[in-house]
């Protein structure tokens, strides 16, 4: 199957699929293009194997749905450098907080790893902890000073 045609992919594009039915978490992979024999390849940072380069047929065989494609936005020279980054990162281990699939995809596309999913989770966690702190302190204050 020609995934470049099916999904209008170009090398360096990021493929984003839902991890769960809720769609809250996403998995990111990078389309690498075709080799001289016409085989298509994808790079991804998998929680078991770390950054791997795999045949697109193998990758897409497990994809149920694609949420979106984030197009590579640089020049052709920048695209070439991005693909080189993907190959150079092969073998790098996965870390849920510091280097997950989104970190990998943004590092390939933009040269710097980042993860909105981790940032959003951290913000929600901090807000939850602040709320819990105030809830506990408010009840302590009421018990201590007899106010409502």
Going by C-alpha positions, the residue among 85, 91, 17, 101 that lies closest to residue 49 is 91
Rg (alpha carbons) of the chain, rounded to whole number: 21
> pLDDT of 88-123, one tens digit each?
999 999 999 999 999 999 999 999 998 977 656 656
Coil, strand or helix at 33: strand
Question: Sheet harboring 26-34: ordered strands across?
Answer: 50-55, 40-46, 26-34, 14-18, 68-70
Per-residue confidence (pLDDT) for residue 45, from 0 to 100? 98
Q: What's the pLDDT band for 131 if we cut at 50, 70, 90? A: confident
> pLDDT of 41-77, one tens digit each?
999 999 999 999 999 999 999 999 999 999 999 999 9
Structural domain boundaries in the chain? 3-114, 116-148
């Amino acid at each position: 199957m020609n995934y470049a045609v099916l999904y209008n992919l170009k090398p360096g594009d990021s493929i984003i699929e839902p991890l769960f039915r809720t769609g809250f978490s996403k998995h990111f992979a990078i389309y690498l293009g075709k080799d001289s024999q016409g085989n298509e390849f994808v790079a991804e940072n998998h929680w078991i194997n770390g950054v791997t380069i795999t045949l697109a047929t193998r990758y897409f065989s497990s994809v149920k749905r694609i949420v979106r494609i984030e197009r590579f936005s640089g020049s052709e020279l920048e695209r070439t450098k991005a693909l080189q980054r993907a190959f150079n990162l092969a073998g790098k281990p996965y870390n849920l907080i510091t280097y997950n699939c989104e970190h990998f995809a943004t590092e390939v596309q933009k040269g710097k790893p980042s993860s909105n999913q981790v940032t959003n989770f951290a913000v929600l966690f901090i807000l939850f902890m602040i709320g819990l702190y105030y809830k506990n302190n408010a009840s302590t204050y009421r018990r201590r000073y007899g106010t409502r």
